[in-house]
């Protein structure tokens, strides 16, 4: 009788702990199973493309030009709880980097230009997505390798947006004496995504 009471006394907290874990994990498990049961998106007809571009800017009155090529490649199928299954793309510059360094302010801060995303150039934006490459909204300011300003937003080190009242072009001119003049790039392609067979 005493063994049954002890067993019952121990099993109640274990059942309670299991119920709490199941309550927290079950929705995520169901989302994961649902995503895996989705059909894969059809692969693109064009899986690799190069997009030459030219960035012209001025630092302290001295005009500079950067010319490079953005290389976009199909990278398979990804999945997450927000998008389900989707086509993954990879982008890099012909020079090997992902960003164009514009100015190294000091050992901790570097200002770089982001040439854009592969989904845009490869014609694979979702119908609800809007994307337009502009000169002023593509500057990154990195601090010790952590992006702190991107696309007109200021980020804390953990990546959370803390201020959306920020104008890249005005701050760049006032604080760093950088004036972005022009951005010329190859237009995006129109890719086909035939149904998967």
- pLDDT, one tens digit per residue, over 47-102 is 999 999 988 888 888 999 989 999 999 999 998 888 889 999 998 999 877 777 77
What number is the average pLDDT over the span 6-21? 82
Give Cα separations from 124 to 15, 71, 127, 128 (angstroms). Answer: 48, 15, 9, 11
Whether residue 147 contacts residue 99, with contact meaning beta carbons closer than 8 Å, is answered with no
Q: Judge if 80 and 61 occupy the same domain.
A: yes
Whether 5 and 82 map to the same domain: the answer is no
Look at residue 138 and give its three-state secondary structure: helix
What is the residue range of 144's domain?
48-185
If asked whether residues 153 and 125 sit together in one domain, one would say yes
Instruction: Please compute the mean of the pLDDT values over residues 95-116 and round it to a whole number.
Output: 76
Q: What angle do CA 159, 125, 140 make, to 5 degrees?
A: 35
How high does pLDDT run on average in the chain?
A: 76
One domain, residues 92 and 121:
yes
Does residue 194 sit within a domain? no
Are 32 and 109 part of one and the same domain?
A: no
Identify whether 116 is part of a domain: yes
Q: Is the domain of 79 the same as that of 105?
A: yes
Number of structural domains in the chain: 2
Percentage of the chain lying above the pLDDT 70 cut: 72
Confirm whether 12 is domain-assigned.
Answer: yes
Do 60 and 119 belong together in one domain?
yes
Q: pTM higher than 0.85, yes or no?
A: no
Rounded to 5, what percent of the chain is helix, strand, coil?
Answer: 25, 40, 35
Residue 173 within a domain:
yes
DSSP single-letter state for residue 171: H
Q: Within 10 A of 87 (CB to CB), how many other CB atoms are there?
A: 21
Mean pLDDT of 113-122: 84
Residue 140, domain member (yes or no): yes
Are 163 and 100 within one domain?
Answer: yes
Sheet holding 62-80, edge to edge: 84-93, 62-80, 48-59, 178-185
Same domain, 68 and 4: no
Same domain, 33 and 52: no
Q: Is there a domain that residue 155 lies in?
A: yes
Query: Nearest-CA neighbor of 31 among 84, 77, 78?
Result: 84
Same domain, yes or no, for 1 and 58?
no
Residues 113/55, Cβ–Cβ less than 8 Å: yes
Question: Which range is most confident: 107-111, 127-131, 152-156?
Answer: 107-111
The residue with greater pLDDT, 167 or 106, is: 106
């Amino acid at each position: 009788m005493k063994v049954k009471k002890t067993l019952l006394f121990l099993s109640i907290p274990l059942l309670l702990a299991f119920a709490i874990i199941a309550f927290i994990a079950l929705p995520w498990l169901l989302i994961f199973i649902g995503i895996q049961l989705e059909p894969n998106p059809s692969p693109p007809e064009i899986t690799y493309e190069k997009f030459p571009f030219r960035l012209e800017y001025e630092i302290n009155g001295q005009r500079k030009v950067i010319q490079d090529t953005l290389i976009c490649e199909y990278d398979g199928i990804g999945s997450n709880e927000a998008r389900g299954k989707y086509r993954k793309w990879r982008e890099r510059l012909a020079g090997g980097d992902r960003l164009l360094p514009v100015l190294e302010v000091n050992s901790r801060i570097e200002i770089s230009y982001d040439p854009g995303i592969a989904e845009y150039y490869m014609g694979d934006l979702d119908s609800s997505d809007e994307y337009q490459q502009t000169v002023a909204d593509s500057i990154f300011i990195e601090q010790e390798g952590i992006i702190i300003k991107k696309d007109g937003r200021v980020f804390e080190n953990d990546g959370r947006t803390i201020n959306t009242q920020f104008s890249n072009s005005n701050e760049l001119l006032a604080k760093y004496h950088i004036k972005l003049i022009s951005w010329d790039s190859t237009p995006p392609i129109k890719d086909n995504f035939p149904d998967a067979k």
